């Protein structure tokens, strides 16, 4: 009975985090949506030349599709940032995802330009698939300071500073050998392209900031259920900031840092328990924030939201169709298409090859064998399976957005690189 009460108490704490985070998130959004929007309009208008030139899906390096930006979402973010409480009221502005839809036939960048040219109150409509947008808590204040170009520059600087800070913390924790494989793995996601796209920047922050916190506070977090609550909060933040594409990296990359700091369990059962319990904690936070958003939206704006969102999820989980509509594309093609895009990152491929050869030659010269533990192999298998599961389940979404989704492969790539260095260190 005492064990059941303890488990129930832990579950209540895990469930309470996304609820409390959601309430705090509403208050934060209420503050930013109460800000005057006059200066925001000016800065959004100043952003139009860049977006109009790039259009919805601009490739920074045309020869490599993986550098494609999601200006479709960025234009939508900017459009929604133009709306204040005086325009749509409290609930619809803060939670409704309202934007100026001048003409539904226009793409998002064109629609934003049309809205800025002739804003009309009757064109203010709700985007129910993208509502309760936590990213506005950051974007709207930034639009008081500058336009899209300024935000991109700030993103690039801040993301670089976070990366350097994380590497310095790794050095302080005597994890120097793991810095090169981590930096190489980050190059896989094209960090410059990530900095240029607000839709991608959010996942970077939700991924790297938890790792920094863990490096600073691991000694306090590893006691009791603190890490469960921490991963729970990370999951809640991930959905609050509306990470749609590769949200799983906010679990996978911090989990690797958890094992770097605390070691991989010696037994398969211990590894499975740690990995699954932390994933369950992250998922409770992620799904809890999702349900909280839907419930609040259903009560305040539209009670049909659950049916609509479930229908959208089923569509994403369906198989993709051929362009001519003649048949379905096998689910496995979602994985194949993402691998093809990933392998077109030639600089990363070259760096990865040099990295692997370096450690192989180092072991060969010392005439030692790689010492790979069974649990290390199980960890790599676990990381690979959760990514493969994500790609297979949401086959339609994965296939259509392979130029973005391929970044989720960062999880098994980082795991492989870290475990390779660990195995070579054991061989010394």
Secondary structure (H, E, C), 371-409: CCCHHHHHHHHHHHHHHHHHHHHCHHHHHHCHHHHHHHH
Whether the Cβ atoms of residue 246 and residue 266 lie closer than 8 Å to each other: no
Q: Of 87, 118, 142, which residue sits at a domain end?
A: 142
Cα 222–chain centre separation? 24
Domain that holds residue 132: 2-142
Distance CA 316, CA 319 (A): 8
Question: Same domain for 109 and 184?
Answer: no
The number of beta carbons lying within 10 Å of the beta carbon of residue 314 is: 10
Token pair belonging to 149: 């170009």
Residue with tokens 């993103």: 155
Block means of pLDDT (10 residues each) for the chain, 428 residues, are: 68 92 94 92 93 90 83 91 86 85 83 84 72 89 94 94 96 94 93 90 94 94 88 95 84 96 92 94 95 90 82 84 76 89 88 91 75 89 94 88 90 94 77
Question: Same domain for 227 and 167?
Answer: yes
Whether the Cβ atoms of residue 417 and residue 177 lie closer than 8 Å to each other: no
Distance CA 61, CA 72 (A): 18
Q: How high is the pLDDT of residue 359? A: 86
DSSP state letter for 122: G
Question: Same domain for 138 and 189?
Answer: no
Q: For the CA atoms of 396, 400, 405, 406, what is the dihedral angle to 10 degrees?
A: 110
Question: Same domain for 400 and 301?
Answer: yes
- With b for 16 or more beta-carbon neighbours within 10 A and e for fewer, the 77-101 pattern comes to bbbbbbbbbebbeeebbbbbbbbbb
292 to 20, 93, 240, 387: CA distances (angstroms): 10, 17, 10, 26
H or E segment and range at residue 218:
helix 198-221
- DSSP per-residue codes, 297-316: HHHHT-TTHHHHHHHHHHHH
Total domain count for the chain? Answer: 2
H or E segment and range at residue 100:
strand 98-100
Q: How high is the pLDDT of residue 3? A: 52
Q: How high is the pLDDT of residue 86? A: 86
171 to 146, 165, 175: CA distances (angstroms): 35, 10, 5
Distance CA 250, CA 38 (A): 35
126 bridge partner residues: 98
Question: Same domain for 331 and 195?
Answer: yes
Q: Of 85, 112, 142, which residue sits at a domain end?
A: 142
Question: Same domain for 191 and 132?
Answer: no
Whether the Cβ atoms of residue 411 and residue 248 lie closer than 8 Å to each other: yes
Question: Same domain for 210 and 314?
Answer: yes
Question: Same domain for 35 and 166?
Answer: no
DSSP state letter for 35: S
Q: How high is the pLDDT of residue 243? A: 67
Question: Same domain for 235 and 276?
Answer: yes
Question: Same domain for 15 and 103?
Answer: yes
Q: Of 110, 142, 174, which residue sits at a domain end?
A: 142
Q: How high is the pLDDT of residue 127? A: 67
Question: Same domain for 160 and 138?
Answer: no
Q: What is the pTM of this model?
A: 0.92
Question: Same domain for 94 and 157?
Answer: no
Token pair belonging to 30: 């209420």
Phi/psi at 307 (nearest 5 deg)? -60, -40
């Amino acid at each position: 009975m005492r064990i059941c009460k303890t488990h129930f108490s832990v579950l209540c704490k895990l469930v309470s985090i996304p609820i409390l985070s959601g309430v705090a998130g509403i208050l934060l959004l209420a503050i930013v949506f109460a800000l005057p929007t006059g200066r925001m309009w000016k800065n959004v208008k100043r952003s139009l030349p860049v977006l109009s030139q790039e259009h919805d899906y601009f490739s920074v390096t045309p020869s490599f599709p993986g550098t494609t930006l999601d200006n479709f979402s960025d234009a939508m973010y900017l459009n929604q940032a133009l709306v204040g409480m005086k325009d749509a009221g409290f609930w619809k502005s803060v939670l409704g995802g309202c934007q100026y839809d001048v003409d539904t036939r226009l793409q998002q960048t064109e629609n934003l330009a049309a809205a800025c040219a002739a804003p009309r109150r009757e064109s203010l409509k709700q985007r129910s698939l993208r509502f309760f947008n936590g990213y506005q808590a950051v974007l709207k204040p930034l639009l008081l300071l500058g336009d899209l170009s300024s935000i991109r520059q700030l993103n690039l600087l801040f993301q670089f500073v976070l990366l350097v800070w994380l590497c310095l913390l790794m050095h302080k924790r005597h994890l120097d050998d793991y810095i090169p494989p981590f930096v190489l793995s980050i190059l896989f996601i094209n960090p410059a392209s990530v900095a240029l796209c607000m839709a991608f920047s959010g996942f970077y922050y939700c991924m790297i900031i938890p790792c920094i916190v863990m490096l600073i506070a691991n000694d306090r977090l590893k006691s009791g259920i603190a890490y469960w609550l921490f991963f729970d909060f990370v999951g809640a933040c991930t959905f609050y900031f509306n990470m749609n594409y590769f949200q799983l990296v906010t679990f996978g990359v911090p989990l690797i840092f958890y094992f770097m700091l605390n070691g991989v369990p010696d037994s398969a059962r211990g590894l499975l328990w740690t990995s699954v319990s932390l994933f369950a904690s992250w998922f409770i936070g992620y799904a809890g924030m999702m349900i909280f958003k839907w419930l609040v939206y259903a009560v305040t704006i539209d009670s049909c939201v659950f049916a609509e969102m479930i229908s959208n999820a089923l569509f994403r989980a369906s198989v993709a169709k051929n362009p001519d509509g003649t048949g379905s594309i096998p689910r496995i093609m979602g994985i194949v298409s993402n691998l093809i895009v990933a392998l077109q990152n030639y600089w990363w491929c070259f760096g990865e090859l040099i990295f692997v050869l370096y450690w192989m030659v180092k072991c060969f010269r010392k005439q030692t064998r790689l010492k790979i533990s069974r649990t290390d192999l199980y960890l790599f298998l676990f990381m690979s399976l959760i990514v493969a599961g994500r790609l297979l389940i949401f086959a339609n979404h994965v296939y259509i957005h392979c130029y973005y989704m391929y970044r989720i492969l960062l999880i098994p790539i980082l795991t492989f690189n870290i475990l390779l260095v660990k195995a070579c260190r054991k061989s010394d």
